[in-house]
Chains A and B, each alone.
Chain A
Amino acid sequence: MEKPLTEYITPGSPPLSLNEYRKAGGYKGVDKALKTMAPAEVTEMIKTSNLMGRGGAGFLTGLKWSFVPMDEKDKPKYLICNADEMEPGTFKDRYLLEGNPHQLIAGMIVAAYAIQAETAYIFLRWAYKKAEKTIQKAISEAYKAGYLGKNILNTGFNLDIHLHTSAGRYICGEESALTNSLEGKRAIPRAKPPFPAISGLFGRPTVVNNVETLSWIAHITNKGTEWFKNLSISGTGGTKLYGVSGRVKNPGLWELPLGTTIREILDVHAGGMAEGYKFRGLLPGGASTDFLIEDHLDVQMDFKTVAAVGSRMGTGTMIILDDKTCPVAFVRNLENFFALESCGWCTPCREGLPWIEKILGAIEEGRGKMEYLDTLKFQTKYLAPGHTFCAHAPGAAEPLQSGLKYFYDDFVRHINEHKCPWR
């Protein structure tokens, strides 16, 4: 089984240097794209590959690029690598950043070339101190080797990549909030339209892509779209980094064909539930996805299939709820996080999430009332997509609405017993 993204990553040892990675063929995709392809051809190729963004929403990458205006007068344009990864339970980008920064840089060079951006930023989560060093080092190697800077590979193409480390706040991961943050402002999302491809960083056409997405680009220009498509089981294209955390025997991260079933990931790779713990449910792709339960274990982890059973694949990093963890406490923990991380711009999110959080706190601490459950249910509908300014609050509503659906009895027990049965 091919594992293109993690092939050269050995946890515990330093990442490949530029020369080592180049020898392994890692920069071939860059050479090929810059020397033999026109920008539009690169975009077209990514479009054909059907690469879906790995940042959570699964938007088609090539399509996103194709919205960028390509006139000379539309310059400057920007490419941003979203390496914020602050969703609780998510740790996949970190693996790529620490393990093979040149894979990302190679992808960014090709992506920037495709949209003709001459400046790119990597927006890195504040906590990733190790990644900060590996990337910084990789960037300077790339400058020295002539892969960054002016007139790259004598093609006339120029590119600077800057590393920006964040100062916290989950909302920075939302691409337009990220843009504001890169501009040195409060990370408030922006209205869409206009999409970043039209008016993004500093009001200029901008593409924002996830680390995992960008890490694919040079592979695809190097090996072609057919190769990419064949990597997946479900036909979507590519492999995916899947992760599992919680009470399993072997928590971790694996590169597997896109479309691997949840059961395989859980039982084969994560080793099944830890001794003495029973499975009750899981969040398939980070804190902002809906619970799935036993019934869903044979679902393939792919954007469409997971959506079909009422959740989202999100980042593909699962969080497991076991029988010794209180589901109300679980959801409360998440809502606590989401309430705290609301940017404070739109009313439903800013006022709704703290209310939810307070109710969950009261229920968990034995001060719950039955009518609170109605309020909770109402709030999950009220925080639906389109009702709020960005996808933060709707994301926050997902584990709550599905938690209420699958673990309703546990909520009721808390209220009736005036205490948490798990304490």
Chain B
Amino acid sequence: MSLEIKYMVTIKINGKDYSVEKGKSLLDVSLALGFDIPHFCFHPALGSVGACRMCAVKKYRDADDQKGRIVMSCMEPVADGLIISTEDEEVKTFRAAVTEGLMTNHPHDCPVCDEGGECHLQDMTVMTGHNYRKFDFKKRTHKNQYLGPFVLHEMNRCIQCYRCVRFYRDYAGGKDLNVFGSHNHVYFGRFEDGTLESEFSGNLVEVCPTGVFTDKTAHKHFTRKWDLSNAPSICTHCSLGCNTIAGERYDSLRRIRNRYNQEVNGYFLCDRGRFGYEFVNNEKRLKQAFIRQKNNVLTPLAEKEIVDKIKKQLYNSNKIVGIGSPRASLEANYSLLSLTGTDNFFHGISEKEFQLTKMALKYQQHSGVRIPTMKQMENADVTFILGEDLVNTAPRMALAIRQSARNILNEDAGIRRIPEWEDQAVRDLGQLSSSHIYIASPVKDYLDDIAKKSFKGSYSDITALAAVIAKLIDKEAPEPPKHTKAIKELAREMADALKHAKNPLIVSGISSGDTALLQATFNISTALLKSKVNPMLGIALHESNSMGLALLPGESLQKASYTAKNENIDTLIILENDLYRRDDSILIDELIQKSNNVIVIDTLENKTTQKADLLLPASAFSESTGTLVSNEGRAQRFYKAVFNKNEAVRDSWRWINELKKIHNNKFKGWDNIDSLFYSLTDDIPVFSNLKGKFPDAGFRVLDRKIPRQSIRFSGRTSMYANLSVSEKKLPQDPDSPFAYSMEGFQENPPSSLVPFYWSPGWNSVQALYKYVDKANGPLKGGNPGVLFLDSLSSEQAKYFNITSNEPGITGKDELVIFPVYQIFGSEELSSEASGVSERIKKPFLLLNSDDITKIKASAGDIADLEINNTIISIEIVMDNNLKPGVAGVSVQLPGMPYLALPARGKVHIN
């Protein structure tokens, strides 16, 4: 860790002295001190550009200066002795005039605007006191664009703060949104109507201070911010554990918004995380239990019969086998484990994924390498990404790494006295210099545009490159395989860069399915550790609880099917897992056939639920409470936002609780999530660190619960006034300290329990300023989540002898096929969300043009792809990033069977 030295200086604001950090912007420190300084173009993550002129304050030369002059606080570096006023009359008039100017063209459509009630412009209009409209001429108007399924566009509401393009282009690297025109006819949009291409487009909804960009998915079931019941939640669509806020009304999930966690997602989510939630409203949703009848048809099972049927099913069960899931909570998985016992619990993932995950976990725990938060990744000075297409497998991590590109500039900026936060100036300064990000991947990468070098090759090429680098860093590293001169040269440059880095970052993941690649990645890390460079290692896993599951005992799916071969399984319980996505269908079919009874617990109908003898409907993440462990080993709780009135739908662990009580009459059952969690932390040693780390259901602040709703003057909601004027009794939540109302403790709750951002005067998301001690700093009371694994790191890092490798080419018509993941489509649950499903591509096969010619095909043709005796018809897409002889196939997309990759395969056209 680089030592951060802070110099404090004293400044005077409104006649009072404050000690603040030198060199920050005045706006930044003033907001942190609690001053409500209006602003638009500033955003803590995007820095200052001084465009909107809203943040004006008075600056005085010295104590004798009575007049002072107006300066923009966002552009003013804090220096010792600075004297300012935020309340001077001239300044107040000026700010009101800025609002007045903005309002000359802003429509008065707040009642029909989705931003209404959480609008930064509304906040600022009230705050600056502009309330009488003098402008009596025509407003300019714009046409709106179709921007795809996620984002709605209403350009007339634009106040030209430029935040959208600064986020979309400068921060997220998007190219298809820009500003057009000039003077007071500037337009923010695309070149032509069409879907916004950036994987992070949804952040525009929160970045835009007005209603120009709003959430199109939420629009269909729109609810004002003040009417939402909220709960802190965790994104369930990849392994990174981004923090979210789930908002409910009328018993349904309405919206997902970003929940700030300085160390994890900061202010931003990816589009899969923001818009994937709608799977909970999908018609495939299981709303009741089903049982398989003699005629082999699954038919609905009445509520009162369920327990009877379970009893019957479990009655003769000696051998009960449980299949857990990387997308189910720790509690759900553990409850199943405790029912079946360790020997009969399996992780519900392929052998390959199981091994790779374990290997990653073991290396991370025992090498002493630093496991970075995403915030720390932003501070890397040299980064090397190997074979992991992050934007498609761990999108938010790719966005974090993009930010690291400018670290190299900050030093130069420092010499030239350009403060880091003066965003445009730093970007202008860096135009001719490149980042220190290196990428090695078979396909085009999201970060290629800013990479110093982006090496394109097969997994074995990447492995070779990594092995050479390790060897160059440390002579003791294993001998690299044969490699080309180009690889050698690149390796030299990179080894040199890594060795001299202060804060190097190595990144890979398990999506390649390539053991050798991962081993070679770890070897670079080991080589650095041995040369006394302290690297960070980021490994992307597959799912929201891949890490949590890996920490539990148990084996892979393949092992489960071996068991089935040897012994009869009386009851097979499959927890929140479509096994056909996880492993070969023959293997899964066999496992299911060998089991007398199959109980499946899940939220959505899928291929596996169709095989159930007893199908139990599980609540989704938004309707339950539980704990997930992210890829960095951070345990985080998500809380129930939606009260599910349908009692047939229950938390998975509550079903298993039933099963266990029936199976084992000594078992008293868990009363709530807390008692289950106590068993877990008592039972499984690695989790003992988590004991008492999450506020339990009995947690109160000054004897009061934490309200899920923000306060309003109207008091109760009268939600059902059309039915009855008396408020119904509010539902009780046995698993959390949250109340289903606006009543309870009114100040900031502990950071992990913040369900919404609101503060007097700040209805917009900017209310977040009141929840942190300083902009971009940790939440008051510390960032949510518990890192409980790092204490295990002790042993010396060791080298792997790179064992297996991606299949080399043998047959002359054969290609090496590697998996290509897609942000939209390769993850199961989000694919069932209506907006996301519109973005899913048809399955495709990426081929180099040479290989296309070789098989006498052309791009767009449907080819037969043959891998391990499976033949799939699939569309050919030309991609000359690939080298000849290597092909990529989209995996996990709807309609794609499970494929064990990388593998050798043949492509032909009939």
Contacts and interface: CB of A to CB of B under 8 A. Distances in A.
B431 interface: yes
B408 interface: no
Contacts of B94: 382, 387
Interface string A336-356: 000111111111101111110
A347 B53 contact: yes
A378 B97 contact: yes
A341 B181 CA distance: 11
Contact of B54 (A199, A340, A345, A347): A347
Given A203-B430, A346-B52, A340 B69 contact: no
B134 A344 contact: no
B53 A387 contact: yes
Contacts of B134: 371, 375
B425 A346 contact: no
Interface stretch (A125-133, A187-195, A288-296, A301-309): A187-195
A362 B422 CA distance: 41
Contact of B183 (A191, A339, A347, A375): A339
Contacts of B416: 194, 198-199
Contacts of A280: none
A358 interface: yes
A270 B905 CA distance: 87
B70 A350 contact: no
Interface in A23-50: none
Contacts of B51: 345-347, 389
A343 B183 contact: yes
Contact of B417 (A194, A344, A350, A375): A194
Interface in B131-184: 134-135, 137, 159-160, 162, 179, 181-184
B403 interface: no
B182 A344 contact: yes
Interface string A159-197: 000000000010000000000000100100011011000
State which size class the interface on A falls in: 35 or more
A191 B75 contact: yes
A325 interface: no
Nearest to B71: A386
A384 B93 CA distance: 13
A203 B406 CA distance: 14
Nearest to B50: A191
Interface in B45-85: 49-54, 56, 69-71, 75
Contact of B101 (A183, A340, A355, A358): A355
Nearest to A204: B432
Contacts of A371: 134
Contacts of B54: 347
Contact of B429 (A183, A199, A358): A199
Contact of A386 (B70, B160, B183, B432): B70
A345 B137 CA distance: 22
A202 B431 contact: yes
A203 B433 CA distance: 9
Given A194-B417, A386-B71, A346 B53 contact: yes
Contact of B98 (A198, A202, A348): A348
**Which of B71, B105, B431 has the most A CB atoms < 10 Å from its CB?**
B431
B53 A341 contact: no
Contact of A348 (B101, B179, B417): B101
A203 B431 contact: yes
A354 B432 contact: no
A384 B102 CA distance: 18
Contacts of A358: 137
Given A186-B179, A204-B432, A386-B69, A194 B425 contact: yes
Contacts of A250: none
B681 interface: no
A222 interface: no
Given A199-B416, A203-B432, A344 B98 contact: no
A193 B419 CA distance: 10
Contacts of B182: 169, 186, 342-344
Contacts of B418: 193-194, 198-199
Interface of A: 169, 183, 186, 190-191, 193-194, 198-199, 202-204, 339-348, 350-355, 358, 362, 371, 375, 378, 382, 384, 386-389
4 nearest CB pairs, A to B: A351-B101, A203-B429, A344-B186, A342-B183
Given A339-B184, A343-B183, A350-B101, 18 more contacts: A191-B424, A193-B418, A194-B416, A194-B429, A199-B428, A203-B429, A340-B183, A341-B183, A342-B184, A345-B162, A347-B102, A350-B160, A351-B102, A353-B184, A354-B104, A378-B97, A386-B70, A389-B51
21 contacts: A190-B428, A191-B75, A191-B422, A191-B424, A194-B416, A194-B418, A194-B425, A199-B416, A340-B183, A343-B183, A344-B160, A344-B179, A344-B183, A344-B184, A347-B160, A348-B53, A350-B160, A350-B186, A351-B105, A352-B101, A355-B135
